[in-house]
Chain A
Amino acid sequence: MSEQITEKDHTINENYRQKPKVAVYVCHCGGNISDIIDVKKVAEELSKYPNVAISREYAFMCSSTGQDYIVEDIRNNGINRVVIAACSPALHELTFRGALSRAGLNPYLYEHVNIREQASWVHKNDKEGATLKAISLTKAGVEKILRQDPLNSIRVEAVRGVAIIGGGIAGMRSALSCADNGLDVSIMEKSGSLGGNLNRKGKVYPSGKEAFEIANELSKKVLSNPKIKVYLNSEISFIGGYVGNFQLNVKKSDGKFEKVKAGAIIMATGFSHYKPQKGEYGFGLADRVVTLPEFENLLENSGEKALEISGKKVSSVAFMHCVGSRQIDGIDAPGKNGKVNEYCSRICCGSIISSANRLKEKFPEISVFDIYTDMRTYGMEHEKYYKKASENDIIFFRRPLEERPKVEIGVEKVNIKTKDVLTMNEEMEIEADLLVLGTGMEPNDISDLVEYLKLPRSSDGFLQEVHPKLRPVEVANNGIFLAGTAQGPMDIKETLQAANTASVKAAALLSSPDIPLDPFVAVVDEDKCTGCGLCPKECSYEGALIMIEKDVKGKKKKVASVNPALCKGCGACAAVCEPRAINVAGWTLDQFDAMVEAIAKE
């Protein structure tokens, strides 16, 4: 493993060594905070607090002007520590670290105090209490930053390669873009071929292209690209490591294992079509009830004369929207995970209308019914299909949002009863030879990968990005990016765009030979360390914390030693160290003691 770690000191400004001069900034967040919290009072109280040299309030600290205040105060007023009371650090911790860096101050000499999500927004009816709380929390922030050492990011040499999990169109698009960027790419695909859900017969909307042709255009390029290695029929038995240095144990089609190294991982694990439960709209009770992908197959393979199911000619088809999507707790049966699929699957309305039109065009004499609740044909060309469907004499029924059509399997037909908004909520009865269930998308089962990498998932089970607008393809874990429907329902074009976005992030991450890592790992004060050996026993990470013998100030001494690339910074070691010789950088126990003291004090 190449864990050559170099510590580069970016600190230009050494004035943190001088007497602490803290600047406090209280953000109004354009009313989000200042409508509830008396920001002037917070700033005023803090200006009287020991070691605080400057205390200001401003409309938008995150704006350029707000950041300029910080830079100016550091450059011209000798500020060497900064506390900002504003929104959640998830939004702007990085923004403000950047401002400190620009001013030449170590970016970690700043503490972010959350007085929006955890104060103004949750104490709307208690302005005074919220203000007092903001004052206490900001004082605690000052106490914390007074005890903060400047930290330098740890730089890890990175493997200039990307591991892409999933060989569907998202995986292939990412692979091509990363390879074009000069990165080595490995694609791990569990099935025997590339293409994923598009590896099938049948046309896609809106282009009307054959699905497999789209997959083929990409896979031909992937397979002929010397920088891309494809592992078909492969399984991932373990993933370890960290940003810049991931290791994947890949079980190959021949049963042998191979270790794949990568600097970044792209999750392109895709979706599965929702599988209706037995009896859900008659599914599984008769072959006359099929899912949309099954119907696509049927239509594709039917002769020119007639559409047949189990040898019987079909003369009427009904399509049902929102099967496995937009489910409601208490109305729809929960799935295996005990939850209903509350989300919209985005692509089904368009797919259904496109299929229904193709059915009508191939067999104009077949009667087609469509039972929907909101027609979500949102794409540029989709509205045309919808209009064409009406011209094709497809008959629409609009069910109320919370009503579920009842399906009975008759001797010959499928009998569907639904309320119809379009005809004054009358109960309508539809008899069809074939019922097609417009099944939605579910994330593929990747619980093992989620477990290895501790990936966050959203309540709908798809992988969860950090923020849909600020960091849309990143997860909380450094170096792992999301591409395509692993993240949520998307159509083909959207999937390709998402895959390229994941690639550009991976390319930027690996554009230089080393990657800066967060410095929040355990550090040992060797003077204080007694060599007792208690802490390594608390550590769960192989090789991260060991006892070594070394010279400390001329004396040979047994001390704890941390490998910063392997340490995850949980702090389990700190709890057992009586003399407080080992601490997580940036999160020391002395800091927390002082914060609690500030909070407890009136």
Chain B
Amino acid sequence: MPEKKPKILIITTNHSSYPGANAVGQARLSYDSNTYIIRVPDPVMFPENFYMKAFEKGISGIIIMSSGSDCPYEGAYDRLSKRIQNVYKLMKEKNININRLKLTTICTVCREAFLKEIADMEKAVSV
């Protein structure tokens, strides 16, 4: 068995970052296999405790790849970023390094940015 690697959960959106993750594959670029992509209409649907529970279950890092200004849903990004601020507070209370949660924006062609976010998170979870 290979050594157990810390797992990174990547939350993508149907509209932008999920196709963006596909574009990385279509370009045959590479990243580590400890990355698990799930897709949602918009991450705004997750309450604060969704993230906290994920950490409890053993997920080491979470990248939220939102659609940012491309977001097809009105007001969703503002709501999401406020919510993530709350999550950071909860993380601090639980002594979880806040670098293990990242809110970012990935578009359908953001291949380089996608890889960079993963590389950054790999560093954050290896500490």
Instruction: Answer yes or no: do A and B interact.
Output: yes
Q: Are B42 and A128 in contact (CB under 8 A)?
A: no
**Are A570 and B45 touching (Cβ within 8 A)?**
yes
Cβ contacts under 8 Å, A592 to chain B: 38, 40, 46, 50
Q: Counting CB contacts under 8 A, is B93 at the interface? A: no
Q: Is the pair A121, B26 in contact by a Cβ cutoff of 8 Å?
A: yes
Partner of B46, one of A88, A476, A575: A575
Considering only residues 1-32 of chain B, those with a C-beta below 8 Å from chain A are 2, 4-5, 7, 9, 15, 19, 21-22, 24-26, 28-32
Q: Which of A44-52, A112-120, A257-265, A311-319 contacts B (4 or more CB under 8 A)?
A: A112-120
Mark out the residues of chain A between 275 and 321 whose CB falls within 8 Å of any chain B CB in the assembled complex.
Answer: none
| Contact status B25-A118, CB under 8 Å | yes
- Please tell me which stretch of B52-60, B98-106, B119-127 contacts chain A, meaning at least 4 of its Cβ atoms lie within 8 angstroms of it: B52-60
> Which of A114, A126, A520, A593 makes the CB contact (< 8 A) with B33?
A126
* Residues B42 and A118 in contact, CB atoms below 8 Å apart: no
B70 proximity list for chain A (CB < 8 A):
454
Q: Determine the residue in chain B with the shortest Cβ distance to A119.
A: B33
A329 close to B (CB within 8 Å): no
- Check if A600 sits within 8 Å of B33, measured CB to CB: no
The segment from A129-137, A498-506, A509-517 that touches chain B is A129-137
Distance in Å from the Cβ of A454 to the closest Cβ of chain B?
Answer: 4
A584 within 8 A of B: yes
Q: How far, in whole Å, are A571 and B39 apart by their CA atoms in the complex? A: 13
Q: A124's contact among B28, B36, B42, B53, by CB below 8 Å, is which? A: B28
Question: Is A218 on the interface with B (CB-CB < 8 A)?
Answer: no
Q: Does B83 contact A (CB under 8 A)?
A: yes
Residue of B nearest to A522 (CB): B45
Say if the beta carbon of B76 comes within 8 Å of chain A: yes
By a CB distance below 8 angstroms, the chain A residues around B36 are: 133, 136-137, 140, 599
The interface residues of chain B lying within 8 Å CB-to-CB of A540 are 73-76
Evaluate whether A123 and B33 lie within 8 angstroms (CB atoms) in the complex, with A88-B22, A118-B25, A456-B108 already known: yes
Contact with B along A127-163 (1 / 0, CB 8 A): 0111011001100100000000000000000000000
List chain A residues, Cβ under 8 A from B53.
593, 596
* Cβ-defined contact, A122 with B40, below 8 A: no
- What per-residue 1/0 map shows which CB atoms of A542-577 lie under 8 Å from chain B? 000000000000000000000000001111101110
Contacts A116-B25, A128-B2, A576-B47; is A459 near B109 (CB within 8 Å)?
Answer: yes
Nearest-neighbor residue (CB-CB) of B30 within chain A: A122
Among A126, A137, A459, find the residue whose CB has the most chain B CB atoms closer than 10 A.
Answer: A126
Which of B24, B33, B46, B57 sits near A129, CB closer than 8 Å? B33
- Name B23's closest neighbour in chain A (CB-CB): A117
Cα distance, A337 to B76, chains bound together (Å): 26
A596 lies within 8 A of B4 (CB)? no
- CB contact between A117 and one of B15, B21, B57 (< 8 Å): that residue: B21
CB-contact partner of B22 in A117, A132, A458, A477, under 8 A? A117
Give the chain B neighbours of A130 by CB distance below 8 A: 33
B116 at the interface (CB under 8 A from A): no
A467 to chain B, nearest CB (A): 10
Within 8 Å CB of A447, what residues of B? none
Check A589/B41 contact, CB under 8 A, given A122-B30, A122-B31.
no
CB distance B34 to A572 under 8 Å?
A: no
Q: Does B30 lie within 8 Å of A572, measured CB to CB?
A: no
- Asked whether any CB of chain A lies closer than 8 Å to the CB of B44, the reply is yes
Q: Is the CB of B7 within 8 A of A599?
A: yes
User: Which of chain A's residues has its CB closest to B8's CB?
Assistant: A599
Question: Smallest Cβ distance from A90 to chain B, in angstroms?
Answer: 7
- Cβ of B89 within 8 Å of any chain A Cβ, yes or no, is no
Interface assignment of A403: CB less than 8 Å from any CB of chain B:
no
Which of A117, A459, A538, A569 is the most central at the interface, judged by chain B CB atoms within 10 Å of its CB? Answer: A117
Q: Is the CB of A572 within 8 A of B15?
A: no
Closest beta carbon of chain A to B70's beta carbon, Å? 8
User: Chain B's nearest CB lies how many Å from the CB of A213?
Assistant: 40
Closest residue to B83 on the A side, CB-wise? A575
Are B50 and A593 within 8 A (Cβ)?
Answer: yes
Contact of A118 among B28, B37, B76 (CB under 8 A): B37
Would B59 and A122 count as touching, CB distance under 8 A? no
A587 at interface, CB cutoff 8 A: yes
Residues of A within 8 A of B45 (CB): 570-572, 574-575, 584, 587, 589
Q: Are B22 and A570 in contact (CB under 8 A)?
A: no
Which residues in window 502-539 of A have CB below 8 A to B?
520, 538
Cα distance A569–B13 when bound, in Å?
Answer: 12
- Quote the shortest CB–CB distance from B36 to chain A (angstroms): 5
Cβ contact within 8 Å between A123 and B75: no
How near does chain B come to A446, taking the closest CB pair, in angstroms? 16
CA distance A541 to B76 in the complex (A): 11
The CA-CA distance from A70 to B56 in the complex, in Å, is 37
| Shortest Cβ distance from residue B26 to the other chain A in the assembled complex, whole angstroms | 6
A584-B41 in contact (CB<8A): yes
The one of B37, B44, B59 in contact with A572, judged by C-beta atoms closer than 8 angstroms, is: B44
Interface centre among B5, B22, B38, B83 (most CB of A within 10 A): B22
CB distance from B109 to the nearest CB of A (A): 5
The reply to whether the CB of A602 lies closer than 8 angstroms to some CB of chain B is yes
Q: Is A601 part of the binding interface, using a Cβ–Cβ cutoff of 8 Å? A: yes
A600 CA / B15 CA spacing, docked (Å):
25
Distance of A90 Cα from B9 Cα, bound (Å) = 21
Once the chains are docked, how many angstroms separate the CA of A576 from the CA of B82? 13
Whose C-beta in chain A lies nearest to the C-beta of B115?
Answer: A122
Q: Which residue in B2, B9, B15, B76 is a CB contact (below 8 Å) of A596?
A: B9
Chain A residues lying within 8 Å of B21, measured Cβ to Cβ, are 117-118
Interface members, chain B 53-69 (any A CB < 8 Å): 53-54, 57-59
Task: Assess A587 versus B41: contact at CB under 8 Å? Given A456-B108, A596-B9, A600-B7.
Answer: yes
- Smallest CB separation, B3 vs chain A (Å): 11
Given A128-B2, A596-B53: 11 more A-B contacts, CB < 8 Å: A117-B25, A118-B37, A119-B33, A132-B33, A570-B44, A570-B73, A571-B44, A572-B45, A575-B46, A596-B54, A599-B9
Going nearest first, the 6 A-B pairs with the smallest beta carbon separation are: A571-B45, A129-B33, A117-B25, A570-B73, A540-B74, A121-B25
- 24 intermolecular pairs with C-beta atoms under 8 Å apart: A117-B25, A117-B26, A118-B21, A119-B33, A122-B28, A129-B32, A129-B34, A132-B33, A133-B36, A136-B36, A477-B72, A520-B41, A538-B79, A540-B75, A568-B72, A568-B73, A576-B47, A584-B41, A589-B47, A592-B38, A596-B53, A596-B57, A599-B9, A600-B57
Chain B residues close to A by CB (< 8 Å) = 2, 4-5, 7, 9, 15, 19, 21-22, 24-26, 28-38, 40-42, 44-47, 50, 53-54, 57-59, 70, 72-76, 79, 83, 108-109
